[in-house]
Amino acid sequence: MAATELVIAGFGGQGILFLGEVLAHAAVLEGKNVTWMPAYGPEQRGGTATCTVVIADEPIGSPVVADPPAVIVMNRPSMEKFEPRVRSGGLLIVNSSIVDRPAQRGDVRVLMVDAVREATALGDARAANMVLLGAFLAAEPVVSLRAVEQAMRERLPPDRTALVALNLSAIARGWEIAREQLLLQRV
């Protein structure tokens, strides 16, 4: 497999880093090489947060991703910053709950996912990041859902293990939404 490079971006507090951490840990569990590089502003919540994840079968030369083939954006400022940087032919996943404009690019695959609404319907708006992870995995099945579940169980603190079921439901919902959109895009 060629390297899978993903940038995840949004506000602090949206679970950007956790999404990346779960994906990276799942890849490690499957024996893949991984880099996970978080970046965030000085604020704990409300500032910008980004995370890059690179997954490959071969050794990874650098965690830096200048022109990502895949980007998940959870807010409008991240859309403005990263949409132009998505590699032509790449994938842009947009949290349409917060991003109030459609994608401008015609040369990338775009998945518009109302992640906050979907997570709220499942019981907790904070699972929006997992809805978007599910959408990504539907488009780019770089790791198995079984590995994601195991990674989540290992990465969540003991007092939060009750969230595993909710997060898995959110991932499944995001996967379903993305599959529907991807099928429509092929028609």
Residue-wise pLDDT tens digits, 45-78: 667 899 999 999 999 988 888 899 999 999 999 9
Q: Count up the domains in the chain and report the number.
A: 1
Return the SS3 of 43: coil
Helix spans in the chain (H)? 16-29, 76-82, 115-122, 128-139, 145-155, 163-186
Residue 118's pLDDT is what? 98
Model pLDDT for residues 92-123, shown as the tens digit of each residue: 999 999 999 999 999 999 999 999 999 999 99
Prediction pTM value: 0.94
Q: Are 9 and 81 in contact (CB under 8 A)?
A: yes
Q: Greater confidence, 48 or 164?
A: 164
CATH number at residue 19: 3.40.920.10
Residue 92's pLDDT is what? 98
Residue 161's pLDDT is what? 85
Residue 76's pLDDT is what? 95
pLDDT of 41 strictly over 80: no
pLDDT of 139 strictly over 80: yes
Range of the domain at 26: 4-186
